[in-house]
Amino acid sequence: MALPHCRHFLLIHLIILSATSLASPQEQETPVTRFQQYLRINTAHPQPDYASAVSFLISQAQSIGLQYRTLEFSPGKPLLLLTWLGSNPSLPSLLFNSHLDSVPAEPSKWLHPPFSAVRTPDGKIFARGAQDDKCIGMQYIEAIRNLKNKNFAPARTIHVSYVPEEEIGGLHGAAKFVHSVDFENLNVGFVLDEGQASPDDEFRVFYADRSPWGLKIKANGPPGHGSRMYDNSAMENLMKSLEVISRFRESQFDVVKAGKAANSEVISVNPVYVKAGVTSDTGFAMNVQPSEAEAGFDLRLPPTANPEEMKRRIAKEWVPAIRNMSYEIIEKGPIRDYTGRPLMTLTNASNSWWLVFEQAITFAGGKLAKPEILSSTTDARYIRQTGIPVLGFSPMSNTPILLHDHNEHLRDTVYLKGIKVYESVISSLSSFMEA
């Protein structure tokens, strides 16, 4: 009897997945080959294969005796939660977070296919997600595997989360997760999320993210012949705004170039599109002045910035209504917690979690660079909004920063060293009794 269409598709899918993941017995035996298997699952937007990724991770959890459950706050966007119960579950738990999804890749620009996870003779593993951030997703599991093999027993319960949609804002993943009863019931006391690679021998650690805004500005003016000189034409008004915004951008960049602040500590403003003109079958009509002109900008605000002051600047200086202009700000996540404080995690002696984390890195033979604000944005901002301390950390030293870049890769020795670092971090944090 013929299978129904959906069951037939599922059967084919499982066969293909099995053939991929079980290519040879050897591939099941090393941390590196398991990492390669995870990388070969295409979770890039716009059609991330979440189902295969979750299925693979569940198989890994089962192999080391971890509890697991799948949550779905939006249809088709699963969130996987793994749990290692501690001996004292009344203590606040630990959460190690990573995301399932990846950004798209342009195969023609890569040395190796971006989802082949080719390992070259010098140990470089090429794949989309190798640094951002499937590495830590597997390192968590491998570190727990090693600790279990050593009969280590955590006092605190350890949770590992794999969330969807981080690369497109996290609104259907972490944002909903942290506001759920499921998250509240975890009783989380401290969180580690993703960080970035470090080109030198120190590990980078991040205590805050910049908050992303999308800004659209629109100018209106009289349309007419290209030869006429209008006051307040749409393009003239848009260009005036572009000049003002450019000067602000230069003022922020000057601070960075003078060495007075890091790039992540200033407000960055970058134009991403301009849209104007009247078109015909032959292209733009060069003798017609358009009645509308629009531009878009990517803004990143550090937690030290005043968002209300930024909004006032936009309204009064950048896009004044007196010039027939309007604007829209798309705030992509919080910049303050529920008490109005900046979303920052303390990295000094007043934060006992920080002291334990710092000591664990030293025990593992690593060195930490000066804590910094992440110039981009992660799901950590949603967790920090609840008041829970979060650090961004990915143990990749002596590694070029290649997230979202062509030929993203990670060296196998760096990956393996990261597992040892997480062994130290997980054992130290889960044995800490005072917080």
- Inter-residue long-range contacts of 398-404, CB under 8 Å, 24+ positions, other chains counted: 398/198, 398/199, 398/200, 398/201, 399/131, 399/197, 399/198, 399/199, 400/197, 400/199, 401/131, 401/196, 401/197, 401/199, 402/130, 402/131, 402/197, 403/131, 403/132, 403/133, 403/196, 403/197, 404/103, 404/132
Query: What are the CA-CA distances from residue 291 to residues 11, 148, 237, 298, 306 (Å)?
Result: 56, 67, 11, 24, 34
What does the alpha-carbon distance between residue 267 and residue 248 come to, in Å, rounded to a whole number?
Answer: 9
What phi, psi does 245 have (nearest 5°)? Answer: -65, -40
User: What's the N-to-C CA distance of the chain in angstroms?
Assistant: 61
| Among 101, 142, 194, 412, the one annotated catalytic | 101
Residues in Cβ contact with 16 at an 8 Å cutoff, skipping those fewer than 6 apart: none
| Among 132, 142, 166, 265, the one annotated catalytic | 166
**Amino acid making up residue 308:** E
What does the alpha-carbon distance between residue 391 and residue 371 come to, in Å, rounded to a whole number?
Answer: 9
**Amino acid making up residue 158:** I
Do the Cβ atoms of 105 and 385 come closer than 8 Å?
A: no
Annotation says 337 is catalytic: no
* Displacement of CA 18 from its chain's centroid (Å): 29
What does the alpha-carbon distance between residue 265 and residue 19 come to, in Å, rounded to a whole number?
Answer: 48
| Number of Cβ within a 10 Å radius of residue 334 | 17
Annotation says 358 is catalytic: no
Q: What is the DSSP string of 392-435?
A: EE----S----TTSTT-EEEHHHHHHHHHHHHHHHHHHHH----
Q: Kindly state the DSSP code that residue 61 receives in the 8-state scheme.
A: H
Report the SS3 class of residue 334: coil
**Amino acid making up residue 75:** P
Vertex 104 angle, CA 271 and 421, to 5° = 100
Do the Cβ atoms of 145 and 64 come closer than 8 Å?
A: yes
Catalytic amino acids? 101, 166
